[in-house]
Chain A
């Protein structure tokens, strides 16, 4: 029983960060309809910003987090302005190829700047874990869970309760009508991509210190983010959050009770099942056709 409880605690902690990865991508892939292959690189970028700010500039860990989010926002905006804006209206294959190119170029850039050897970030949290009866969890991971939860709530409110969120939803539903209603469509495109990117950077900034930081760390994260988005239904923020927790649960229980060798396969088995039985994702709302 205590082992099961421990798996559940692990799932909560892992799920929070998966959810954060998922909502960033669901904004871009689900709402903007851009197959964003740079999501993983932005995750890596956020982690390296933490490393630079904490270790090379010597700035406080808690101050480094908003800086990493801001840096992710700026890089996202730059990608949208230089790569996606000229391509708006071109077919999905072209955009996809350009994004793959950007992914490879940026990953190689990270390798060139920081080298292939993994770096780790020291945190102000105590080494001794929080022990709750038979289960225990590290303070750093609890902090990561809390920060992820806060970012998820903020994003949800931003999309559903603010004027900007309303304009975003309107733009990606019908660009022309939104434009006629006075929405600055260009600005919405840039800010949506920038917000999604800053969430990826936030996930990297939070998880980098938990694990180690290296140029390819974003690859697996990106694959998981795509899986979560598909699981939760494209563009559905609540779906992405629940999808993140389902993936974490599948991995934890799969590794704990089935076979640890297939841990990363568990999530993808679920995705295959979802694609077969409910291809629009578990939580897709019904859509108007035509």
Chain B
């Protein structure tokens, strides 16, 4: 009996050592997304997309001969939590690179932590201009800032015959940034800008704002927020008999979900998106898009989430490509490598260009922007 008992600690030690060794066999990427709170739906989709990328990479043998491991943490749609999550991922999980943090306010809260710990982050969704213009050299953004969205939209405003627009935007860096960039573009085009209404990110009743917008002399409302609030807005606008044209921005609309939940109220609405899962052959990399959509469906996820989840997929592939290029999983090497990679993203090639003050530029990729229109419950493309 005694020898067996003596063996126990030895075995335990061996197991601990082996598992410790096994842990070092993986390369970690920290994922900082909102899985609860106001942006839970969007954040969950992004994480599901990220998992597809990780599984694909691991099926092909991983990176640098090691398995890729995603360390996923919930930032609760709360900027304070987002910063804490980043700190935890970097200091406790020792991830050499992050992806996150979905919302602009969440990403902005994380940015000082990236400076402090000198760790790069791939920004997959946030669109506030501030993120890449304040001089944070650890930021590499693959989503379009609202100024790029506004510039893309500029080409079509004449065709849409816009005369006067109102805004209804989420009251954070994302919404206010969009209102600012789009107003500027509208004014350059000679389009009048009327009321700019805001809503709290957790607000569920926008009837008061919509009642006010119903009474103005504008013919179009530009709406910026995520899908949960958007479906509520469409339902509430319909209930109030608001008949103005609604155009949404931000790429987090999940148009299929709007059709499913808002029904007839969705007809005639237009949406600026950054991915075309409905027309895979019109995307810049049809092969990759078809693979991703097939994999998404195979896993039983809601098709509506594709417009959101593709960013998680592209974000992880971007980070993984940088690790591969760097040849080692170290923050400084990955940061340097991010400047040299070219990834075939689902929405165009991901190549980082310098943005922001000289000497401490952030990386910004130039993704495509599309305008889609919902007619009779179907999604159609408008040429920009």
Contacts and interface: CB of A to CB of B under 8 A. Distances in A.
A7 B208 contact: yes
Nearest to A254: B208
Contacts of B209: 255-256, 260, 263
A2 B242 CA distance: 13
Nearest to B41: A117
A116 interface: yes
Contacts of A256: 208-209, 211-212
A260 B198 contact: yes
A116 B40 contact: yes
Contact of B171 (A118, A252, A254, A261): A261
A269 interface: no
B200 interface: yes
A264 B207 CA distance: 13
A127 interface: yes
Among B171, B238, B240, B265, the most chain A Cβ lie within 10 Å of the Cβ of: B240
Interface in A200-255: 211-212, 214-217, 220, 251-252, 254-255
A263 B215 contact: no
Contact of A118 (B41, B197, B208, B265): B41
B228 A255 contact: no
B258 to A, nearest CB: 12
B207 to A, nearest CB: 5
B40 A214 contact: yes
Given A116-B35, A117-B41, A260 B199 contact: yes
B357 interface: no
Contacts of B74: 116
Contacts, number: 96
Interface in B258-281: 261, 263-265
Nearest to A141: B239
A180 interface: no
B198 A261 contact: yes
Contacts of B171: 261
A87 B200 CA distance: 38
* Chain B at the A interface: SS class: helix
A217 B228 CA distance: 13
A2 B238 contact: no
B184 interface: no
A190 interface: no
Interface string A113-135: 00111101000000111010000
B65 interface: no
A254 B211 CA distance: 12
Contacts of A93: none
A256 to B, nearest CB: 5
Contact of A6 (B240, B261, B263): B240
A260 B36 contact: no
Nearest to A130: B239
A223 to B, nearest CB: 11
B61 interface: no
Contacts of A216: 36-37, 202
B228 A10 contact: no
A131 B241 contact: yes
B44 A127 contact: no
A177 interface: no
A7 B231 contact: no
Contacts of A212: 204, 228, 231-232
Contact of A137 (B36, B212, B239): B239
A212 B203 CA distance: 11
Interface in B217-234: 228, 231-232
Nearest to A212: B228
15 contacts: A7-B208, A14-B205, A14-B207, A116-B36, A116-B44, A127-B263, A127-B264, A136-B240, A137-B239, A212-B232, A216-B37, A251-B208, A263-B199, A263-B208, A264-B200
Given A6-B240, A211-B205, A254-B208, 17 more contacts: A2-B215, A10-B208, A116-B35, A116-B36, A117-B44, A127-B264, A129-B238, A136-B239, A211-B204, A216-B36, A255-B209, A259-B198, A260-B197, A260-B208, A261-B171, A261-B200, A264-B203
